[in-house]
Amino acid sequence: MVSDIKVSIKNLYKIFGSDPQSVLGEAQAGMSKADLLETHGHVLGLKDVNIDIQARGVQVIMGLSGSGKSTLIRHINRLIEPTAGEIIIDGEDVLAMSEEELLAFRRFKASMVFQKFGLLPHRTVEDNAAYGLTIQGMDKAEAIEKSSYWVKRVGLAGFENHYPAQLSGGMQQRVGLARALATDAEILLMDEAFSALDPLIRTDMQDVLLDLQSELHKTIIFITHDLDEALRIGDDIAILRDGAVIQQGSPQEIVLNPADDYVRDFIKDINRARVLEVSSVMESKKPRSGIKVEKTMVVEEALQISNANDNKPLIVTEDGKAIGSVSLEAMIAAIARPEKDAERNPEYR
């Protein structure tokens, strides 16, 4: 069977310092980031990272500042060379690519959106959006014509001849997004693309992205340190700490079964009702009567429906067939913030 895995990262290590190879062995043997820095003066950027990224989905990579997110995403298009490990994209080893192949890969296959936008200040909006295409070798007029579609799609019609300095941050990032989309690359790398924007604009941009994704189905690798953002747009979330992946799973899994206190800290302030779906809190018994709700409905909505119907249990359905039920009590219990020291997952301690 052809697997649907687009990007596969295997045993990836990145060590910053004067002689990374010399300390690789010790890092592979499990030396911690702090120890490595203290004893050898090298920074452990990434530690045995293994992630399989599904095609046509949004893979979020999350972690606090310094956890190695930017380092990781830059390995995918080899802006950073790994110390050890493999990166396989569509069955092809990115690390084995020649200079030429790598240029072609960056031009046609993966494009990137940056936290600080990285726009060319001396080029207008339309020229910036066409940048990737001109780098591909396309004639300038043709490139501008082709990219003007994306300029309009991100909502910048009328600003084609403005320079980046004349735009607000949100608009500049729209240019960044248009530039990345214009090359038709299948993989979109976004390094904290919306982190520099204020909350309202950020939500706007998330909407723009989700809207585009629902029709483009690109493989998006999205970095953020904001869990609300991660939950909102991620199909799958990987959480990094000190360069290591400590948990990977769907938003539901992460909220329901945080792997350790680090993850628990991340999720403690989120609105669980807006994340959890009824299928995650349902019981298998199926009452004969009741209001039917789709299994992907979030608890917040289900609570309202239940409340409007004398707090009766709801029937959870999949494709119209009943698969279980949720009671008001179960839903309320699920959205209560868990105690930090709850003994729910002793195996992780």
Partner 1 sequence: MITPILDVMQTIPSFVYLIPVVMLLGIGKVPGLLAVCIYALPPIVRLTNLGIRLVDADVMEAATSFGANYKQRLWGVQVPLALPNIFAGVNQTIMMALAMVVIASMIGVKGLGVPVLRAISNQYLALGLMNGLAIVALAIIFDRVSQQYGKRLQKHREGGHGV
Which residues, other chains included, contact 161 with Cβ-Cβ below 8 Å and sequence gap of 6+?
Answer: 124, 125, 126
> Does 40 interact with ligand ATP (rule: CB under 6 A)?
no
Structural tokens at position 2: 């052809």
Minimal distance in Å, beta carbon 53 to partner 1? 18
Distance CA 15, CA 201 (A): 36
CB atoms within 10 A of CB 125: 27
Nearer CB in complex with partner 1: 194/266: 194
- Give the residues lining the site for Mg ion (CB under 5 A): 70
The Cα–Cα gap between 168 and 184 comes to: 26
Exactly one of 65, 214, 284, 289 binds ligand ATP (CB under 6 A); that residue is 65
Stretch that binds ligand ATP, among 62-70, 94-102, 297-305, 311-319 (CB under 6 A): 62-70
* Whether 318 contacts 286, CB under 8 Å: no
The yes or no reply on residue 97 touching partner 1 (CB under 8 A) is no
Distance in angstroms (rounded) separating the CA atoms of residues 196 and 168: 11
How far CA 266 is from CA of 162, 228, 236, 241, in Å, comes to 40, 10, 16, 12
Give the residue, chosen from 23, 61, 72, 119, that forms a contact with partner 1 under the rule CB under 8 A: 119
Query: What pairs with residue 315 in β-bridges?
Result: 292, 325
Between residue 188 and residue 227, which ones bind ligand ATP under the rule CB under 6 A? 225
Residue 161 contacts partner 1 per CB under 8 A: no
* Binding piece for partner 1, criterion CB under 8 A, among 35-43, 57-65, 108-116, 247-255: 108-116
- Residues that bind ligand ATP (rule: CB under 6 A) add up to a total of 12
Please state the closest distance from residue 65 (CB atom) to ligand ATP, in A: 3
Size of site (CB under 8 A) for partner 1: 33
> Which tokens sit at 346?
């002793």
Nearest to 150 by CA among 242, 212, 94, 93: 212
Q: Given the rule CB under 6 A, which of 64-72, 175-183, 297-305, 326-334 is the region that contacts ligand ATP?
A: 64-72
Tokens 């302030």 sit at which residue?
Answer: 269
Min dist. Cβ of residue 170 to partner 1 (A): 14
Could you say which of partner 1, Mg ion, ligand ATP, none residue 18 binds, taking C-beta under 5 to 8 angstroms by partner kind?
none
> Is residue 78 part of the contact set for ligand ATP (CB under 6 A)?
no
Contact with ligand ATP (CB under 6 A) among 68, 82, 170, 251: 68
Rg (alpha carbons) of the chain, rounded to whole number: 23
Interaxial angle between packed helices 140-153 and 169-182, expressed in degrees from 0 to 180 and rounded to the nearest 10: 130
- DSSP one-letter string for 80-98: S--SEEEEEETTEEGGG--
The piece of 67-75, 133-141, 158-166, 293-301 that touches ligand ATP (CB under 6 A) is: 67-75
Interface with partner 1 by CB under 8 A: which residues?
77, 79, 102-108, 111-112, 114, 116-124, 131-132, 135-136, 163-166, 172, 179, 183, 189
Interface with ligand ATP by CB under 6 A: which residues?
16, 43, 45, 63, 65-71, 225
